[in-house]
Amino acid sequence: MIANILTLDLFTAALLIVGGMLIPLVPHSIRKIYMLALPIVGLLHFLSYPFGSYGEIALFDFTLTIMRVDGLSRIFAVIFFIATALNIIYAWHVRDTMQQVASVVYPGTALGGVLAGDFVTLFVFWELAAVSSVFLIWAGRTERAMKASVRYLIIQVGSGVLLLGGLILYAQETGSIAFELMELDSFPVLLIFLAFGVKSAFPLLHNWVQDSYPESTVSGTIVLSIFTTKLAVYSLARGFAGTEQLIWIGAIMTLFPIFFAVIEDNLRRVLTYSINNQVGFMVVAIGIGTPLAINGAAGYAFANIIFEGLLFMSMGAVLYRTGTIQASELGGIYKSMPLTTIFCIIGALSIAAFPLFAGFVVKGLILDAVSGEHMVWIWAIVLFASAGVLEHAGIKIPYFAFFAHDSGKRCEEAPRGMLVAMGISAALCIAIGVYPAPLFALLPYPMDIQPYTAAHVITQLQLLLFAILAFVVLIRVGVYPPEIKSTNLDTDWFYRKLAPAGLAMIGRGLGSTQRWIAMRAQRRLDQFIARLYRLHGPESGLARSWPAGHMALWIAVLLGVTLILNYF
């Protein structure tokens, strides 16, 4: 049985994990080909498996299911393989072995989580994903990267602790470890829900994304941007589809990042806020939980990995060639990097959901799912958030990076590997938008979907045109927030400001207490020494000389007392 399981896993998650760990042993002359072969071979073999459960292992009174293939896990597994291959091509120029290993092992652990059929297997890959991904932040090799990586690891491992506690209590309560749909009505399920929420970057639990991702390397940030939150989205779709609390959580997630992204100068941090925003759309759909909504969440996750990854790639190329990613220091780069500019614009049009691009065909599924449930307020929030996506990711990213003003920077075009990866991603964005049938065939629930209806196209074009008009007006009248190089505090205010101030206050309190205790102890010690001095000092009664006659008298008295006591 073990041999069969190893053979099975060799072509799924373990192919990437084990194959990635063997990268240091592969000669540099063939290492790139070897790395690219791993996800390609893995995808081709994975597609040969029919729906079902594989690699079942009896463990005490439970059964572990190493791999489960169904409609939901298949679409996530396919895009994980594709994204891994694109990331390898993008980082073709990188010779850092640590980055190469992590960029293959980490996607493998995320893939293992997507295919897990039970909570124990999910937990193992959940924690492996946390540990393997942190190497991509360490690869930044700066003091900021090291500090951010520690905070990142604490949060990710903390999520795993919540998951472990939840699954132990859930197994005791239900007698099962199967990873299936759950009701949010017990403490063990709440722990599991919070574990998924941390990795999904729920509101107030989200800032680890902005804190850590931009501190990674040029290519490492792209890998990080794809797998962690999408693994969590899959987990929510698997375990909590139809949980109403997710609808409002997701709605808030679509809204608040917009305002932070508008004032942010670091364009990679802008895109990390876009991750929060985009995951919010998926969470709303999962909360609705209908087949159309789950199709929308899964389809949007698939397309988002491509077009948001494309935006991260283009900004990574700009950072690689210019040495900066601050909007206040960029502009006019289109003259030096025309292909990167075109690819970035295609990614921007896709994330903004322009017709004939990937975002349009998948976002329409979510909007239809919301309107179909007659959720007026949620529909209004999602529509407003869609306009916000256009502003901060669809316009701000390409405008300030390439066109806003001429920064005077002149550089080379992106390296060939970067251009190839961006070109493939851009082609997929257009292909999905023009001919979405192959993507729709991968969706968990088969249904007849018509994305290009008159209502869809007209509504979306009206929204986009008014959002563009608002941006232009704000820029022209000078109301749009200027690009200023600064650190904008989000929930990191708690550890950047509140925690240091609180620790300083506690330190001052402890210092005052220590001084008071020391003063009291010194006073008591002085009093004790003074008393000893009075009794045993050179002027005390005990210290003066006694005449011999007095001593003889006292000895006689003591002897007399002793005789009397012995007599009686």
419-463 pLDDT tens trace: 999 999 999 999 999 999 999 999 999 988 888 888 888 888 888
Residue for token digits 């190893």?
6
pLDDT (0 to 100) of residue 486: 65
Output the pLDDT for position 293. 95
Task: Give the residue among 83, 90, 88, 86 at the shortest CA–CA distance from 111.
Answer: 83
Q: Supply the pLDDT for residue 303.
A: 96
Answer whether 318's CB lies under 8 Å from 276's CB.
no
Residue 542's pLDDT is what? 54
CA-to-CA dists, residue 176 to 60, 72, 122, angstroms: 12, 21, 14
Residue ranges of domains in the chain: 1-218, 241-488, 491-520
What pTM does this model have? 0.86
Using pLDDT thresholds of 50, 70 and 90, give the confidence band for residue 9: very low
Element (H, E) at 65: strand 62-69
What is the distance between the alpha carbons of residues 416 and 340, in angstroms, rounded to a whole number? 11
Which comes out higher in pLDDT, residue 546 or 397? 397
pLDDT for the residue numbered 296: 95
Which of 98-107, 416-425, 466-475, 546-555 has the lowest average pLDDT? 546-555
- In this predicted structure, what is the pLDDT of residue 14? 86
Per-residue pLDDT of 170-199, as tens digits, reads 999 999 999 999 999 899 999 999 999 999
Q: What angle do CA 186, 188, 193 make, to 5 degrees?
A: 90
Residues 347 and 429: beta-carbon distance below 8 Å: yes
Q: How confident is the model at residue 390 (pLDDT cuts 50, 70, 90)?
A: confident
Which range has the worst mean pLDDT, 55-59, 77-81, 208-212, 542-546?
A: 542-546
Mean pLDDT (the chain) is 87
pLDDT digits (tens, 9 = 90+) for 300-320: 999 999 999 999 999 999 999
Give the torsion sign (CA, 411, 415, 419, 425).
negative
Q: Of 76-90, 356-370, 388-402, where does the model show the most confidence? A: 76-90
| pLDDT range class, residue 489, cuts 50, 70, 90 | low
Average pLDDT over residues 497-512: 75
pLDDT band at 490 (very low <50, low <70, confident <90, very high): low
- Ranges of beta strands (E only) in 231-377 are none
Angle at 257 between CA 252 and CA 262, to 5 degrees: 140
One-letter amino acid identity for 182? M
Q: Give the tokens for residue 216.
A: 């990674």
- What is the predicted pLDDT for the residue at 512? 81
Mean pLDDT confidence for 63-67: 88
pLDDT of residue 345: 95
**Do 73 and 234 contact (CB within 8 A), yes or no?**
yes
Return the H-helix or E-strand segment holding 222.
Answer: helix 218-239
Question: What percentage of the chain exceeds 70 in pLDDT?
Answer: 90
Residue 147: pLDDT above 60?
A: yes
Give the residue, 429 or 470, on which the prediction is more confident: 429
Tell me: pLDDT of 106 over 80.
Answer: yes
**CA nearest neighbour of 56 among 124, 120, 107:** 120
Lowest mean pLDDT across 125-134, 235-244, 315-324, 400-409: 400-409
- So what's the pLDDT on residue 6? 45
Query: Does 360 score more than 60 pLDDT?
Result: yes
